[in-house]
Amino acid sequence: MNALLSNRPVAVVTGAAGELGRAICQRLYQDGLNIVAVDINLSAVEALAHTLNRSSDQRVVAIQADMGDERSISAMVDQAGELFGRIDVVVNNAAINLRGSIYDFNPEHWDKMMAVNLRGPALLCQKIAPFWVKQQSGRVINIVSRCWVAGGPPAYVACKAGLVGLTRSMARELAPHNVTVNAIAPGLLPSAFTLEGRNPEDFDQMAEGSINVTPLKRLTRPEDVANTTSFLASSDSAFITAEVIHVCGGSQLAPFGTR
Ligand SMILES: NC(=O)c1ccc[n+]([C@@H]2O[C@H](COP(=O)([O-])OP(=O)(O)OC[C@H]3O[C@@H](n4cnc5c(N)ncnc54)[C@H](O)[C@@H]3O)[C@@H](O)[C@H]2O)c1
């Protein structure tokens, strides 16, 4: 490893090719970190790396991994470790939303969502923990959703509420090694994730409902989440752990969809 590259902290960002993932990678790159940009969609994450890589002593490396698959997660961590020799920050951002109500949800979809959205972040932290133990420092940032308090599609909400529980559990377990673990709960924003399976009118109606219950009267922007990630990844947040920061203009105060 090039000595200059290895002096920089390294962030692993999952779901890096998505709307929030791209903004998070861009911000952490601006902050001076090397980035391991992870996504199931290799070509999209390679395109991101190509766009961001502008410096000879700082790198964005694109790696394909399926967060629902333990072997794939292990292989990605091994590759990141070989490339950089250290891992400092993990942003668990990848998620899927196979919608279904309590009346009609598909059990296979339920299991797949749990595997990608909840078990994946836990496994990723398990595989990276040896780096944190060695380094005696680390940061975990779990992207949840305001729906963990507000409700919504049951499997998705269960994953996100579970990820808040995992945040609190890992905050205690990893603290002896000076690792902080926090969650960010964004509000609604347009992305492949929220637009898939909806026509634009449905999304617009949902967005209008969301803005109506948001005291700060707009949707979440990717940079809102990226800025908060930057803070939680930095030394300025050193004494903050086990927290959920709602980045949704106050809409956590209102029940989902209330006008
Ligand atoms: N968009 C919103 O309104 C919203 C609101 C609250 C929370 N969130 C959360 O923000 C995060 C990012 O969402 P987004 O809106 O940017 O969605 P997005 O669809 O734009 O991005 C998700 C990314 O995850 C990747 N991905 C999907 N399955 C994967 C897997 N098995 N392994 C690895 N990567 C995988 C996708 O390829 C995609 O690039 C998610 O955790 C989501 O739950 C989104």
- Give the pLDDT confidence score for residue 56 in this predicted structure: 87
- Give the pLDDT confidence score for residue 255 in this predicted structure: 60
What are all long-range contacts of 77-85, with beta carbons under 8 Å and residues at least 24 apart?
77/12, 77/124, 77/127, 77/128, 80/10, 80/12, 80/36, 81/131, 83/1, 83/36, 84/1, 84/5, 84/6, 84/10, 84/34, 84/36, 85/1, 85/6
- Give the pLDDT confidence score for residue 162 in this predicted structure: 98
Among protein residues, the one with the nearest Cα to ligand 1's atom 43 is: 95
* Residue 62 token pair: 């694109």
Query: Residue 172: is it exposed, middle or buried by C-beta count within 10 angstroms (0-12/13-18/19+)?
Result: exposed
Fold of 3-193+220-253: Rossmann fold (3.40.50)
- Give the pLDDT confidence score for residue 1 in this predicted structure: 57
Distance (angstroms) between ligand 1 centre and the Cα of 18 equals 6
SS (H, E, C) 2-32: CHHHHCCCEEEEECCCCHHHHHHHHHHHHCC
Verify whether residue 103 is a known catalytic residue: no
- Give the pLDDT confidence score for residue 259 in this predicted structure: 39
Q: Tell me if 186 CB under 6 Å of ligand 1.
A: yes
Domain ranges of the chain: 3-193+220-253
Q: Which of 193, 219, 228, 248 to mutate to test the pocket of ligand 1 (most atoms within 8 A of CB)?
A: 193
Longest CA–CA separation in the chain, Å = 56
Among protein residues, the one with the nearest Cα to ligand 1's atom 36 is: 15
Among protein residues, the one with the nearest Cα to ligand 1's atom 29 is: 40
Binned average pLDDT, 10 residues per bin, the chain of 259 residues? 73 98 98 98 98 94 98 98 97 96 96 98 98 98 95 96 98 98 97 90 93 95 98 98 97 66
Contact in structure between 251 and 187 (CB atoms under 8 Å): yes
Contact in structure between 250 and 214 (CB atoms under 8 Å): yes
Q: Which of 131, 132, 148, 156 is catalytic?
A: 156
Q: Tell me if 67 CB under 6 Å of ligand 1.
A: yes
Distance (angstroms) between ligand 1 centre and the Cα of 147 equals 15
- Inter-CA distances, 255 with 148, 152, 178, 212, 243, Å: 11, 10, 36, 11, 21
Q: Tell me if 251 CB under 6 Å of ligand 1.
A: no
